[in-house]
Amino acid sequence: MRFNKKNPACAASLTLALGISTAAVAADDDEGFLEGSRFKVLNRNIYFSQDFRNGDSALNPQTGEKKTRRSEWAHGVIATFESGFTPGPIGFGLDVRGQFGIKLDGGDGLVGNGMAGNGIVPRRGYNFDGSPKDEFGRLDVALKMRLFDDTELRYGDVRPLTPVVNTSDIRLLPQSFRGGTVMNTSIEGLTLQAGKLESNADRTATAHNGDLGTAYGGRFKESDDFVYFGADYQVNDRLLLRLHHGRLDDVWNQAFLGVEWNQPLREGLKLRAGGKYYRTRDTGKSLMGDINNDSWSAHVGLDVGAHSFTVARTHIDGDTPFDYVWNTWDFYLDTFSQSSDFNNPNERVWMARYDYDFAGIGIPGLSFTTRYMRGTDIDGTKAGPHYAAYQNIRDGRHWENDVWLGYVVQSGPAKDMTFRIWHATHRVYGDHTAEANLDELRLIFEYPLDFRLF
């Protein structure tokens, strides 16, 4: 592959190699930096298809033409170098991630816009409204520091995982943020974390200066940062308590409270239950307008040998949808699904789920999941202009059925290789025009390689 300025993926790969070599030379005398290092390569291949039904369609963002089908196939390579820490009470380290994607199939008439649920291949332009890219990629770099074995600070391209900002890795390449984070585990069972994020790199981005924003409201140049903090307390092996808060500058304050509990009843029989609550209010300049949203969900489940049964209920109380940080996966509510978020204004949702682990019949690594979600009472007539897609909905309803089958190779040269088949059927009723009738298919193949360098 010829190196030039127009090939960011090639540049990223070269820079990754140079970065690793430089780190190795610089740290040659630092015990622990190299000895604790790892190099990982993940090959990920995805076929993503959406077949619209009942007269629904999507718009080609470049031509404005209606299309009744999206179909994309791409391969991604994610190479990650994670150093150890230099010795002493204060240790330093470096993480470098190079990621490269290539479009294998999907022309301008079939590729989505590379955002949210709309595909895996990006389009050119700030609003992803140009022609599809044949190749794409970028380089993520983060410096890290460890204090007294229980506190870790990072600055650079970071990937926080919390209920208020959960970095997305559900497409071809992972998302990242530019900023700083800190995590502390000095008290047994208690994990504290906080951070300040200043820009976003989308799952299909080739740069790190993307504006922050919300999944349903778009990006805002005026929103300067996202600040978060939170605590997770594992009381014992049965009870987990979570409390988190995030502030998206001049958009909202969002608080999260969660509890997870499980109770073994006897061998092979376990009861599970949990609840989650989000409180979202506008703040500062209120770039998204007035937001007064309380969203909660609860679930109860029973594990019987290889079988798992779960039922859940979600309420969205507010005239805006339950929203989250731009292109992340901040969806800790119990009724998230493959195609729809089931997070519309004033929506009421029921879910029934069944999981089976085929290890119960001697096939470890093979798993099956099916879910049925039904949402009613959608009313967005009082939504503000930033959520205009909901303003004509007074009595919206929809349902979705997901069927997932996955297999992880358990041993041999292909150990940890993963195959997944995901299928979703989504149908809308009443005057629910904010979402579409569609059948969605995803075929996902992953092959990880993990190396100890020293």
Strand partners, 8: none
Sign, CA dihedral 197-199-202-203, equals negative
pLDDT at position 103: 92
Q: Would you say residue 130 lies in a domain?
A: no
Closest CA to 293 of 303, 304, 305, 281: 281
Q: Would you say residue 23 lies in a domain?
A: no
pLDDT at position 411: 94
Q: Other C-beta atoms within 10 Å of 443: how many?
A: 15
Take residue 25 and report the two structure tokens written for it: 């030379």
pLDDT at 261 over 50: yes
Mean per-residue pLDDT, 237-248 = 98
The string of DSSP codes covering 397-442 is: EEEEEEEEEEEE--SSTTTT-EEEEEEEEEEEEET--SS--EEEEE
pLDDT at position 120: 86
pLDDT at position 452: 72
Q: Would you say residue 3 lies in a domain?
A: no
In the three-class reduction of DSSP (H, G, I as helix; E, B as strand; rest coil), residue 191 is classed as strand
Q: Please, which pLDDT band fits residue 115 given cuts at 50, 70 and 90?
A: low
Angle at Cα 331 formed by Cα 330 and Cα 334, nearest 5°? Answer: 155
Q: Would you say residue 430 lies in a domain?
A: yes
Count up the domains in the chain and report the number: 1
Q: Would you say residue 367 lies in a domain?
A: yes
Take residue 327 and report the two structure tokens written for it: 């292109």
Q: How does the average pLDDT of the chain come out, rounded?
A: 90
Q: Would you say residue 151 lies in a domain?
A: no
Q: Please, which pLDDT band fits residue 310 given cuts at 50, 70 and 90?
A: very high
pLDDT at position 252: 97
pLDDT at position 92: 96
What is the pTM for the complete model shown?
Answer: 0.89
Q: Other C-beta atoms within 10 Å of 260: how many?
A: 17
Distances 326 to 55, 142, 145, 148, 281 between C-alpha atoms, Å: 29, 21, 28, 35, 17
pLDDT at position 117: 56
Q: Would you say residue 368 lies in a domain?
A: yes
The string of DSSP codes covering 255-278 is: EEEEEEEEEEEETTEEEEEEEEEE
Mean per-residue pLDDT, 191-212 = 92
pLDDT at position 116: 54
pLDDT > 90 fraction of the chain, expressed in percent and rounded: 76
Q: Please, which pLDDT band fits residue 11 given cuts at 50, 70 and 90?
A: very low
Q: Would you say residue 297 lies in a domain?
A: yes
pLDDT > 70 fraction of the chain, expressed in percent and rounded: 91
pLDDT at 113 over 80: no
Closest CA to 141 of 233, 321, 19, 238: 19
CATH code of the domain in which 301 resides:
2.40.160.10
pLDDT at 88 over 70: yes
pLDDT at position 10: 44
Least confident of 31-40, 119-128, 367-376: 119-128
Take residue 87 and report the two structure tokens written for it: 């010795």
Mean per-residue pLDDT, 331-348 = 92
What is the extent of the structural domain holding 263? 249-442
pLDDT at position 1: 36
Mean per-residue pLDDT, 254-278 = 97
Mean per-residue pLDDT, 313-320 = 97
